Amino acid sequence: MSNEMGTLHCEEIADKGKENLAKELDGIKNNFKKVQREKNKILSGLKLSTADKKDLDFSVMIATWIDLRKKWMMEVVYYTFTFLDDLAKYLGLSYEEISCYFIAEFEDFLRSGKKISAYEVKRRSSEGAFLVFSEKSKSPDVFYGQDGLDLLYSGLHKEKEGQELKGFVASTGGKEKISGRAAIILDPEKDNFSAGDILVTSMTRVEFMPLMRQAKAIITNEGGIACHAAIVSRELGIPAIIGTKTAMQRLKTGDMVEMDLKSGVIKIIN
């Protein structure tokens, strides 16, 4: 994680205090125990064939692999960012600047000392998002901000006129329907978000946790039933609809939306 995110998480930990953190950890452990008890109860009432048991064991193994993959990815990201932070200090660059380099550009910088321009650093760090098209032996084409997002989603998610916005219900939060104000979040460190908003993003990651704790509900473009947003929303006990493909393009910050937590359909209600 970046220094800013590390600072943010440290501040969050300090605000909660040791006693509240201990209670939260106990709550997580108790929730796992509860899930295990419910699982054992369900299994004890089922008459499973040998083939059924093999299928269940295989499913458990796959789910474990998915969790381990995510754990390893988070470790790689953490150590990569830590390494970049140390390297930036060694090379006399800011962390923001070094994190804006493409791999080929950084290799060129290490060989020749050639830096990307301050203008390019500013664009890549302030536009919110950018899309890179790269072909072998050719310079990459870069599309910034909304241009990049429009190009990405127009190519990946072509939708029919009037098609309903729908995803997979990852967590009901104990409700059948819920409504609230949508907040589109590209950068959890910079974008405005108020407690009680419905968090709408492409997919959540660990740096989204402070916002997820304050969110009334979560909607994502991407993700499956074992993705970060699905797991965390169930742990937090808040509603989540994932894998909508186009929520970020069809909703905007300030929209009042209704989430049907049976069908997975999302509607703008004003």
Q: Which residues 6+ apart lie within 8 Å of 236 measured at CB?
A: 212, 213
pLDDT (average), residues 153-166? 63
pTM of the model: 0.60
pLDDT higher for 10 or 195?
195
* Cβ neighbours for 212, distance < 8 A, ≥ 6 positions apart: 199, 204, 218, 229, 232, 233, 236, 238
pLDDT score of 194: 94
% of the chain with per-residue pLDDT over 70: 87
What are the pLDDT digits (tens) for 29-49? Answer: 887 788 788 888 888 888 889
Q: What percent of the chain has pLDDT over 90?
A: 33
174, with CB counted inside 10 A (0-12, 13-18, 19+), is exposed
Confidence category of residue 9, pLDDT binned at 50, 70, 90? low
Q: Is 260 helix (H, G, I), strand (E, B) or coil?
A: strand
Nearest 10 degrees: Cα torsion 174, 176, 182, 184: 70
Tens of pLDDT along 90-138?
888 888 888 888 888 888 988 998 888 888 888 887 665 677 877 777 7
Q: CA 7 to CA 168: how far, in whole Å? A: 34
Answer yes or no: is pLDDT of 213 > 90: yes
257 — pLDDT class (breaks 50, 70, 90): very high
CA distance 232 to 197: 17
- What three-state secondary structure class fits 238? coil
In terms of Cα–Cα distance, which of 161, 156, 169 is closest to 264? 169
Q: Token pair of 76, please?
A: 């790689």
Alpha helices in 45-117 (DSSP H): 50-91, 95-98, 103-112
Average pLDDT over residues 46-64: 88
